[in-house]
Amino acid sequence: MSTETITATTDALRQARIAVLGYGSQGRAHALNLRDSGLDVVIGLRPGGPTSAKAAADGFSVLTPAEAVQGADLIAVLTPDMVQATLYNEVIAPNAKPGAALLFAHGFNVHFKTIEPRYDIDVVLVAPKGPGALVRREYEIGRGVPCLFAVHQDASGQAREKALAYAAGLGGARALLIETDFKEETETDLFGEQAVLCGGASELVINGFETLVEAGYKPEIAYYEVMHELKLIVDLLYEGGLAKMLSFISETAQYGDYTRGPRVVDAGTKDRMREVLKDIQEGRFAREWTAEHAAGLPNYSAYKQKDLDHPIEQVGSRLRARMPWLSSGA
Ligand code: NAD
Ligand code: MG
Ligand code: MG
Ligand code: MG
Ligand code: MG
């Protein structure tokens, strides 16, 4: 069973130099956790890039990506997915030591073959199931975020041990480590963010808000109902699943949940979820997104602006300004 306990220590990376390329959401959290776990970490960033001052302020040696790769036993590729292929071809492939390990936090480029790694390096995945801020916060309080890990290529004979040691250094072994492959991680991660976590949840909220406001209800009340209160429900699901959520809501809310929920999200929704999954599995999403990025993000930017201009954002920022304590978490 995939939930068997896999124990891991940082031993396989004790003597290793780790280069973290990218210092954004995941990069910063990984670098800080690995260093606090006693490992040797340097950061590779473009000079003058937006996050190099932050890495230096956190006390790291900040090198160029090429310098960081040259000395590294493990190279963590934590730049945005869409720049990883160029970074691999121009910087990593010409500079990585034979036997070094290339580590990803998402399998996109290896699975969809936009990166075809050299045969003499290890290729592994350690994917925390949470955003970087949570990976760091949980580590600092002695806990961890569950991680998936996988080996795509084992040139050194030590690839699996290195991935496990990295996951241990992140704090993931304190929660749960699940072994997978690049295909399963990539496809499930994309599906989760598209259908449920980001795409599905935000569309549910926006459509609920519009339904109430178009029916003449106050936008402030609609905002509290469909966006603000969602956190309470999601926290209950996170802590104790459906059972805990149901035990905290009223009988009336439960009856509405059982009878009306399936009218909103129905078999047609699930059919469309299957279509979204097929787009991922058959590479259509990857091709579309790669082409969009290469064209300079014309549609992405327009989609983003449409979300930011939605009335729920105007009313939301006014209401949240009354509760300044909300933004202290991240
Ligand atoms: P991010 O956008 O937060 O940070 C990117 C970093 O890379 C920044 O420091 C940026 O300055 C740097 N960068 C950009 N272009 C660069 C280049 N050409 N050379 C060197 N550095 C460059 O990225 P992120 O969201 O942390 O994503 C990193 C990886 O982690 C991706 O593979 C992503 O799929 C994966 N991941 C992200 C999350 C998440 O919650 N954000 C969760 C799991 C996995
Ligand atoms: Mg994810
Ligand atoms: Mg993702
Ligand atoms: Mg959306
Ligand atoms: Mg209510």
- Does 156 carry a binding-site annotation? no
- Does 250 carry a binding-site annotation? yes
Is residue 301 in a domain? yes
Residue 4 pLDDT:
79
Q: 59 — alpha (psi -120 to 50), left (phi > 0) or beta?
A: left
Q: 226 CA to middle of ligand 5, Å?
A: 9
- Does 3 carry a binding-site annotation? no
Domain that holds residue 64: 11-181
What is the CATH classification number for the domain harbouring 80?
A: 3.40.50.720
Taking CB atoms and a 6 Å cutoff, what residues make up the pocket around ligand 1? 21-27, 45-46, 49-51, 65, 78-81, 83, 87, 105-106, 127-128, 131-132
Is residue 5 in a domain? no
**What residues are neighbours of ligand 4 (ion), with CB under 5 Å?**
202
**Ligand number with the minimum distance to the CA of 128:** 1
Q: How many domains does the chain have?
A: 2
- Same domain membership, residue 177 and residue 58: yes
| Rounded average pLDDT over 160-170 | 98
- Tell if the pTM clears 0.90, that is, is over it: yes
Tell me how far apart the alpha carbons of residues 81 and 286 are, in angstroms, rounded to a whole number.
Answer: 11
Is residue 20 in a domain? yes
- Same domain membership, residue 204 and residue 173: no
- Domain-terminating residue out of 157, 181, 205: 181
- Domain-terminating residue out of 181, 216, 237: 181
- Same domain membership, residue 222 and residue 117: no
Tell me how far apart the alpha carbons of residues 264 and 132 are, in angstroms, rounded to a whole number.
Answer: 32
- Domain-terminating residue out of 124, 156, 181: 181
**Are the CB atoms for 45 and 51 separated by under 8 Å?**
yes
Q: 304 CA to middle of ligand 4, Å?
A: 8
- Same domain membership, residue 32 and residue 136: yes
Residue 326 pLDDT level (bands cut at 50, 70, 90): confident
- Same domain membership, residue 211 and residue 157: no
**Are the CB atoms for 167 and 126 separated by under 8 Å?**
yes
Q: How do residues 66-125 score in pLDDT, each as one tens digit?
A: 999 999 999 999 999 999 999 999 999 999 999 999 999 999 999 999 999 999 999 999
- Same domain membership, residue 196 and residue 174: no
Enzyme catalytic residues: 106
330 pLDDT more than 50: no
Whose alpha carbon is nearest atom 38 of ligand 1?
131
Tell me how far apart the alpha carbons of residues 306 and 272 are, in angstroms, rounded to a whole number.
Answer: 23
- Does 37 carry a binding-site annotation? no
Q: 58 CA to middle of ligand 4, Å?
A: 34
- Same domain membership, residue 266 and residue 125: no
- Same domain membership, residue 172 and residue 248: no
**Ligand number with the minimum distance to the CA of 145:** 1
CA distances from 300 to 108, 164, 231, 244, 307 (A): 19, 36, 27, 37, 11
- Mean of the per-residue pLDDT values for the chain? 96
Residue 211 pLDDT:
98
Take residue 21 and report the two structure tokens written for it: 């390329």
Residues above pLDDT 90, as percent of the chain: 94
Is residue 169 in a domain? yes
ipTM over 0.85: yes
**Are the CB atoms for 23 and 43 separated by under 8 Å?**
yes
